[in-house]
Amino acid sequence: MKINILGLGIAALLIFFVTTVFAEEIQLSETPQNDSNHIRSIDISNIQNGEVVAKLTLDHPLPTLPMGVSLSNPFRIYFDFYQVANGMGKNIQEAAEGDLRSINIVQVGDRTRVVLNLSKLMRHDIRAIDNTLFIRLVAVAENQVVNAAVRFAEDTPNKQMNSLRDIDFRRGTNGEGRIVVDMTKVNAGVDVQQQGDEVFVEFVDTSLPSSLRRRLDVVDFATPVSTIETAKKGDNVRMIVRSNGRWEHSARQSGSQFILEVRALTDSEEELEKRKRINGGYTGERLSLNFQDVEVRAILQVIADFTNLNIIASDSVSGNLTLRLKDVPWDQALDIVLQVHGLDKRKTGNVIFVAPRKEMADRELLDLEAQLQITEMEPLRTEIFHLNHRRVNSISFEGMLSKRGTINLDEISNTVTVTDIPVRLTEIRKRIQRLDVFERQVMIEARIVEATETFSRNLGARFGIQNSSNLGSNGLGISGNLTDSSALAGGGSVGGGGNLNVNLPAAAGVGLLGGPAALGLSLLKFNNNRLINLELSALETDQKGRIIASPRVVTAHGIEAIIEQGDRVPYQQATSSGATSIRFMDATLRLKVKPLITYNGQIDMELNVNQDKIGTAINQFLPPPINTKQVTTKVLVENGGTVVIGGIFDRTENQVVNKVPLLGDIPVLGNVFRNTTKVDNKRELLIFVTPRILSENLNLQ
């Protein structure tokens, strides 16, 4: 009974295959030709005078010609073909013809983008003959670029420089956000790049009116776009478009108008991404398979019918398989079948080739050996590369040459001479174009401000009895300051000092010429020509100072720079043998910095700033000390911004009272019997750093 059921199953399966093939033949004979359009081939030809022509062959003529958009850094031109699919079976085509390096063909939904990767700026035009498109690329001569730059420098910006006239935002019919920018110049340079949830649009050599320098909030339009911010950046204008959710963008330029569209992903595209996340990367439609001892070829045929793909099996594919799969993505089911029988697959376009792993590896090995044989037999070519920004010995070409290739580096002329097959020359050319670029430079200026404020106040008095025989008849009055020898010998004594009973004068200020101000009074006359004299002395000093040091240095992106100025202090150092040697210690003002320019134009710096000064020597046998102030940090600063990277505030308060016990504590009268010193010193150190990015002509951006 079991054998009869298995036989009936196989017979039913054979009948299904026969009817399916017969139905497909009838459908192919009765249904008309599919109207979908595809890019079938791209042929490239090099014409004299540096012109390159790319010929694109399609299934049907296009209703309208696509608009080419030129981009820079790197140089490229792209065309968007709507309602056109990629029928070439590959996404990249190497060119290596003139200044055209390669062509990328990327299909997203019903739109296919053709990107022409260039080695330098080129003009383009496009024309169509039936279902064939011809894209002609013309190299721009260097003298034309130089002359244009000279004329731009001589003329006014309004005549030569592009300017934005208006920025408009609209909501498309399908809910996409559309940004329309009107410019004054036709076919101006525009660079579009995506980074995370932001799209950066760079308008090259463009001015921005103050009325358009603003931030637009467009959330209420119910599109993926949330904000649009436009600002000036050097000679260019940068527009930052921020979006939410899952989206894709497309840009096109027509004359003096630039249009950027941001479209939310459709449900099918969102579903495709969701399948990848749920099914571990598999995106196929789900199917169920239940077979008992069926040939592998039959299962491959069922999967081909389910997916409408062309599956070609090698003659060595054989064997039977029993499996039961329920609600499994078809691409996962195909991988399971191939893994069970040790098979492998290669997909080209909508064709899948299936063969045993060893046979597949042998085929690829034969292809590789054939390519190696072609490489060994291919004629050699010699090309000279001139480097503009890098030194030839700073770029490594290890592993890029074939066995027959040779390379010569000339450091005097800064050129690289390579002799090799064309494929290797193309790889070396791409490497040089990627690495030989202008290293942006940064000027870093530091300001070290040291502010000092000192204040001191000294109050004192001397009190004693003096003989009035040398005074006038009345013996009373102002007598100036007391000149007793004991006071000059050293203050602070009480009694036993000639005419002075209390000797507590104000102390002289440090570093000041002369002593404190003094006022002497004869207060009272006794018998025997004796006078009671009082001398009050006071000194108050208030000093303010500011020291500014401003080191600055210019360095390239990612290169550490050091600038310093100061003295070197010699001192003796004893060795283990007992001898002495002279060594030097630096007392310098130094700025050490390593800047990195980020993508959004900010500057990340590793900084070390120190200011050393020679102090006062303690004695003649020891070298003077080094007073140092130093800060080491890492900061992120915008271009042209100023940041305070360090600050030290030091304050010293001191009050000293010398007095006669008990008498110095008497209110008011006690001031005669005491000496008071008050000190209040402040010192503040601030370090400011300002980085500025330099343009290619070494001007500040």
Question: 116-155, pLDDT tens digit by residue?
Answer: 888 887 888 888 888 888 888 887 654 444 333 333 333 3
pLDDT at 383: 92
pLDDT at 179: 92
pLDDT at 490: 37
| Cα distances (angstroms) measured from residue 182 to each of 192, 212, 252 | 16, 11, 13
For tokens 């009116």, the residue is 209
Q: Say how many C-beta atoms besides its own lie within 10 A of residue 605's C-beta.
A: 20
Q: What is the pTM of this model?
A: 0.44
pLDDT at 76 over 70: yes
Q: Which residue has the higher pLDDT, 462 or 697?
A: 462
Q: Does an H or E element contain 369, and which?
A: helix 357-377
Grade residue 348 by pLDDT with cuts at 50, 70 and 90.
confident
pLDDT at 500: 66
Grade residue 701 by pLDDT with cuts at 50, 70 and 90.
low
pLDDT at 475 over 50: no
Q: What is the distance between the alpha carbons of residues 246 and 284, in angstroms, rounded to a whole number?
A: 21
- How far does Cα 641 stand from its chain's mean position? 16
Question: 440-465, pLDDT tens digit by residue?
Answer: 889 999 888 888 888 888 888 787 77
Percent of all residues in the chain with a pLDDT value above 70, rounded to a whole number: 79
Report the range of poorest mean pLDDT among 297-301, 413-417, 695-699.
695-699
Q: Which residues on neighbouring strands pair with residue 128, listed in sequence order?
A: 133
Grade residue 228 by pLDDT with cuts at 50, 70 and 90.
very high
pLDDT at 362 over 90: no
Grade residue 485 by pLDDT with cuts at 50, 70 and 90.
very low
| Cα distances (angstroms) measured from residue 269 to each of 276, 333, 666 | 11, 22, 95
Question: 607-662, pLDDT tens digit by residue?
Answer: 988 888 888 887 777 778 888 888 888 999 998 888 888 778 888 888 888 888 88
Best CA proximity match to 105, nearest among 64, 58, 45: 58
- What are the contacts of 583-587 at 24+ separation with CB within 8 A? 585/623, 585/626, 586/612, 587/612, 587/613, 587/614, 587/626
pLDDT at 527: 61
CB 592 within 8 A of CB 608: yes
pLDDT at 4: 45
Question: 233-246, pLDDT tens digit by residue?
Answer: 877 899 999 998 88
Pairing of strands 100-108, 111-118: antiparallel
Grade residue 382 by pLDDT with cuts at 50, 70 and 90.
very high
Report the range of poorest mean pLDDT among 4-18, 127-141, 146-160, 267-281.
146-160
Question: 153-207, pLDDT tens digit by residue?
Answer: 333 334 457 889 889 898 888 888 999 998 888 777 888 888 888 899 988 888 8
Return the top range by mean pLDDT from 16-20, 183-187, 229-233, 535-539: 229-233
* Token digits of residue 597: 């320019």
* Token digits of residue 13: 């399966």
Q: What is the distance between the alpha carbons of residues 352 and 344, in angstroms, rounded to a whole number?
A: 10
DSSP 556-623: ETT--EEEEEEEEEEEEEE-TTS-EEEEEEEEEEEEEEEEEE-TTSEEEEEEEEEEEEE---SSTTSP
Please classify residue 442 by burial: count the beta carbons closer than 10 Å to its beta carbon, then call 0-12 exposed, 13-18 middle and 19+ buried: buried
pLDDT at 3: 39
Instruction: Specify the amino acid at residue 459.
Output: L
